[in-house]
Amino acid sequence: MRQPAQRTKKEGSGTQGKTYMLRLFVVGDESNSKQARENLVKICEEHLKGDYKIEVVDVLNDFEAALKSNILLTPALVVVSASPPVTIFGNLSDTEKVLSALGLTGGKS
């Protein structure tokens, strides 16, 4: 019964690149999901310079969406805008791996 979709959108300086469409699958308010949400916001703030769009899906409310994206493990982040879409499982604590999956390897260094 959490907010089903939390959208965070920021119009920022760099509009030159594509917009990252991100879908985060969480399970209610269990700890891993909370952490994932926090980690994602942090990464996005730091590396995507506001050029992103996050959709949060609570699988407890919408299992069909999880089924469609084959989300068996949670939390999970799907980079919808990438082709093919990339799936990252886990609470996103490993920033390097997330950046690499977003195609921003070594972006921070």
Partner 1 sequence: MTRQRRKKKTGASLTKQRGLKKVATCVAGLDDILNGGIPRGRTTLVSGGPGSGKSVLGMEFLYRGALSGEPGIFVTFEERAAALRQSALGFGWHLAPLEEAGKFFLMEARVDPEAVLSGTFNLKGLLAIIEGKATAMGANRIVIDAVDVLLRLFDDPARERNELYALHDWLLDREMTTVLTVKVSKDTPTSARYEFLDFMADCVIYLDQRITEQINTRRLRVLKYRGSGFGSNEHPFVITEAGINIIPLLATGLRHKGLGRKVSTGHPRIDSILGGGYYRGSCILITGTSGTGKTTLASTFARVSCERGQKVLYISFEESQDSMVSCMLSPGIDLRQPLKAGSLQFLTAIPESMGAEEHLIRAFRAMEAFRPDHVILDAISACNRMGSEAAAFDYLMRLINACKEQGVTIVLTNQATGLKEEQEISGIGISSLVDAVILLRYNEIGGEINRTLLVMKSRGSKHSNQYREFLITDQGIDVVDVYVGEGGMVTGTARYEQEEREAVEQRVREHEIKRKEHEVIEKRAELEAQTAHLRAELEGAEAALESLQMEKGVYWRGREARGKMRGEGLDSSRLGTKRKGAGGKGGPK
Helix (H, G, I), strand (E, B) or coil at 10: coil
The 18-57 site mask, x for binding partner 1 (CB under 8 A), equals -------x-x--x-x--xx--x------------------
Question: Which run of H or of E encompasses 86?
Answer: strand 86-89
Whose CA is closest to 3, among 39, 43, 40, 33?
Answer: 33
Minimum CB separation from partner 1 for residue 57, in Å? 10
Q: List contacts with partner 1 (CB under 8 A).
A: 25, 27, 30, 32, 35-36, 39, 59-60, 63-64, 66-67, 70-76, 86-95, 97-98, 100-101
